[in-house]
Structure 1
Amino acid sequence: LGNYATERKVSMYAATEEIGLGEHLDSRYTDRLQRFKRWMDGVRQQCAQNDPIAALRSMVMDIDYENWLRQNSSSEKAADYRMSNVWFLIEALKNTLEKDEEGGMTIEEAIGKLVLSDMLERQQEEEDGAEG
């Protein structure tokens, strides 16, 4: 998929829908990729048209991320910590959306605002560390 997308100069996401991908991958893989893309498109649509926070929570549950963390973490405590980070991020996005006085902020804009805020905090911490 990556090689095909690079060759076509498109994202891997866009490449999953191209007919030519079938010439590079077995149909069982292209079918799975197309199903995944349709599922992601549904999540994106829910984020845009309905409650984006509910859509994100549902996405985390749909992929059974907590169970995956438990299977792949070094301990239950590590899995719990990682999962709490996911819920913290979703809660932070919820709070960012709720603070939007105009009410028109998209989930993408909320993510951008959180990323910018985090970058500014890290920069401030570095400056404070350099001064101290």
Structure 2
Amino acid sequence: MENAERFSKVFQLFVDSPSETVPKEELYNLFSHSGFSLTDESLENLKNKCPENGLPFNEYLIQCEELEKEEISREELQKCLESLCPDNSGFLDANTLINTLSTGKYSLGENELEEMLRLINPDANGKVSIVYLLSLIYNKN
């Protein structure tokens, strides 16, 4: 796993020694700091897989590897976002994006949607650039 060193550093933020475990209550923060966006369902799954005494480092790495497999590529996401842009302008209507993300199997919760709105900062016409969205998501310009 190419991110093992980074994941090790993140894990160490949550424990005093490498042999310790991260409590279930901290799993959301642990995986968020690791760069993963968890749905309520995926967080519940992680908690259910987690031993009662907390998540050890080796299990954390396994879960990170599983989450990485589920991630969508930048190109795949760009195609999805472009499909929501009927005029091919490269700008999405923020309301369309919110409606799309608030429905379906992996819908975002109200707090997540509010946070996303603050991050995407639509223009005066309620539009947001697909390129800007991708740069936020993948931390690249």
Per the normalisation by structure 2, the TM-score is 0.28
Which of the two has higher C-alpha Rg? 1
Q: Report which structure shows greater RCO (CA 8 Å, sep ≥6).
A: 2
- Please state which structure has a larger fraction of its residues in helix: 1
- Please state which structure has a larger fraction of its residues in strand: 2
